[in-house]
Amino acid sequence: DENKNLIIYEDLESDQPNSTLEIKEDMVFETKKYLIKYSLVIHSVPNFAYSFIEKPRPGKFYPERAKELGIPMSNLWKKLQDGEVIEFQGKVIDPFKEGIIGPKKPGRKITYTGDTMPCKSLIDLGKDSEILIHESTFAKDLAETAKEKAHSTSIDAANDAKNMNAKQLILTHISSRYQEDAVKLVEEAKEIFPNTIMAKDLLEITLK
């Protein structure tokens, strides 16, 4: 099947050198305005990272131009605002070609890593994310422990954010050993990626 890929996955806790997973194409969900993609990442058990992606948005709407073309304020305006081609009085009207709306705006992206150690597949998936929510189980002084357990440090998360050109990094999945000193991980990450914060319950962020 051309829509399936075989991936050789290294199970860090298995006596076998590697295991084979069969997965479908990288898109798991799609609507008119959004889609969700995934990528296999590296952990002690099979795990995936996900990107929530907004499709390109219609540009600015120019109602005066619609009026010039004789299109009345109606449900047709909503269709034009959404970038839809309409038929009006026997004519096909493309809102982009007629200057009714401006150029499309790039969609926004949020990437969530799940449990993982640094890997290229994550960087590729999360390229140009507005927000990267990245596990940061350990501080930088436990880099070897993180590698052994196939987790990430604060520095790993910051480097991933920088390499994928993310706009903001949110650290999550913090080891309980840092319960009283979690700010330490944020400070470490900020040395590489300044726009870093710690995840917390009910955190809300506005995307522009």
At the second CATH level, the architecture of 4-56+106-198 is: 4-Layer Sandwich (3.60)
Percent of the chain's residues with pLDDT above 70:
88
Q: How far apart are CA 65 and CA 80, in angstroms?
A: 11
Map out the domains of the chain as residue ranges.
Answer: 4-56+106-198, 59-104
User: Over 50: is that where the pLDDT of 170 sits?
Assistant: yes
The whole-number pLDDT of residue 85 equals 95
Q: How far apart are CA 48 and CA 174, in angstroms?
A: 18
Of 18-27, 65-74, 87-96, the poorest mean pLDDT is in 18-27
pLDDT, tens digit (0-9, with 9 covering 90-100), for 125-161: 999 999 999 999 999 999 999 999 999 999 999 999 9
Supply the pTM of this predicted model.
0.79
